[in-house]
Amino acid sequence: MNQKVKIFADGADKAAILDLYAKPWISGFTTNPTLMRKAGIRDYEAFARDILSAIPDRPISLEVFADDFCEMERQAHIIRSWADNVYVKIPVTNTRREPSLDLICRLSHSGIKINVTAILTLAQVRDVTQSLAGGAPSCVSVFAGRIADTGIDPMPLMMAAVEMVRTYPNMELIWASPRELLNVVQADQIGCHIITVTNDILKKLDLLGRDLVDYSLDTVKMFYDDACKSGFTL
């Protein structure tokens, strides 16, 4: 791993998280309510405290799950109290399209480390960075993969976001929701601080720099072996 971009594992499976914790090139961890639901988590606090007790020395982002800003704030203070390495994830808006800027400003300037999540536009990046300026260490999480899902190349936006965040020493930019291993290379090339990576993409990391001729041969062998195992005849 020669990349400068920090890799944060994204998931909610305890066994996988602890396995990845043993790998020094995993710099942190993130999760969210959707990943936790997919993993069958029913007790939020018990799961979070369990992971935090096992991983005391790398940043872990845990998300609030309210839609009301007062309740988000209450939850943020509770989550922050569980460990010093916690970043509290706050969505950039609530479900009513109301920006969370006042909340993240208040939380950040009270000393809570914030990860602002679900950002998809440069206007959101601009507003969020201004709200976090001068506060606690924070992350600005841009969902580049979801931008790409709409048919828009996320690279120009992410490059502009890098420049926006560079102005603020207390912030790091996250390339969130990557769709392929190439995104790790792209995030590194543009100077993005962090990329969150799910297990399915992490499994491909050993392919970085692979000789394409050898990879072609392996692909041919795979097709041949599977045809043989299937017993195909004509």
Positions marked active-site: 89
Q: Are 5 and 194 in contact (CB under 8 A)?
A: yes
- Gap between the Cα atoms of 78 and 159, Å rounded: 35
Element spanning 58, H or E = none
Tokens 């839609």 sit at which residue? Answer: 67
Number of neighbouring beta carbons within 10 Å of residue 95: 7
CA angle (143 as vertex; 138, 148 as ends), nearest 5: 155
Which DSSP symbol is given to 93? B
